[in-house]
A and B are shown apart, each in its own frame.
Chain A
Amino acid sequence: DTEVTQTPKHLVMGMTNKKSLKCEQHMGHRAMYWYKQKAKKPPELMFVYSYEKLSINESVPSRFSPECPNSSLLNLHLHALQPEDSALYLCASSPSPGNMGKLFFGSGTQLSVL
């Protein structure tokens, strides 16, 4: 299984809602990443989890809350988002933080905040 699975594929939420994005991989990768991508722009790194611990937070607002319950699963909890947070959210994984040679991306969650 060489996939990173993201759910849901599409999400529409109001500014007062709480929702979660899910990312799963079963390749034994120990580094997992959240990226945000606005239309026609390159992805921007949000968070890096290394061996289930948060190792990098790229100054992301607290309305985005990541969680890594186990080595296969990565969540992104969303609360009180703003319309400008509408974007494609991509999850990725690699064997380890220092080894991005095998880098796998999920198909993303297209998020719309109304």
Chain B
Amino acid sequence: KNEVEQSPQNLTAQEGEFITINCSYSVGISALHWLQQHPGGGIVSLFMLSSGKKKHGRLIATINIQEKHSSLHITASHPRDSAVYICAVMNYGGSQGNLIFGKGTKLSVKP
């Protein structure tokens, strides 16, 4: 079993829909990152969470440390949100820079 599990693996939505991507992890963590990767390209760090909730524009990320679960929400989705969204955790006591990555959720938003 992977230490970081994301669901769904693939997600297709219509423009304007509310989207939720989930991440569950099985290790103790010091922080959790939500990352966005467009095709053929680099990665953008959207959020780093260690507790609670963060909001940036149409994106909201939440984390429940007790349940070892995090969600990324996108409100009023747009075709430009189409990308792979990756959950990555910093294992508590893990080596520096060695994030444990989920396999990603490929989101496609249709106009």
Contact = CB atoms under 8 A, between A and B. Distances in A.
B74 interface: no
Contact of A103 (B33, B41, B103): B33
Given A42-B101, A42-B103, A100-B31, A105 B42 contact: yes
Interface string A39-53: 001110100101000
B40 interface: yes
Query: Interface on chain A toward B: helix, strand, loop, or mixed SS?
Result: strand
Contacts of A106: 42
Query: Interface on chain B toward A: helix, strand, loop, or mixed SS?
Result: strand
B96 interface: yes
B99 A105 contact: no
A45 B42 contact: no
B86 A45 contact: no
* Tier of interface size on chain A: 20 to 34
Contacts of A107: 41-42
Nearest to B36: A105
Interface string A79-114: 000000000101010100110111111111010000
Interface string A59-72: 00000000000000
Given A33-B97, A100-B48, A107-B42, 4 more contacts: A41-B103, A42-B88, A42-B103, A45-B97
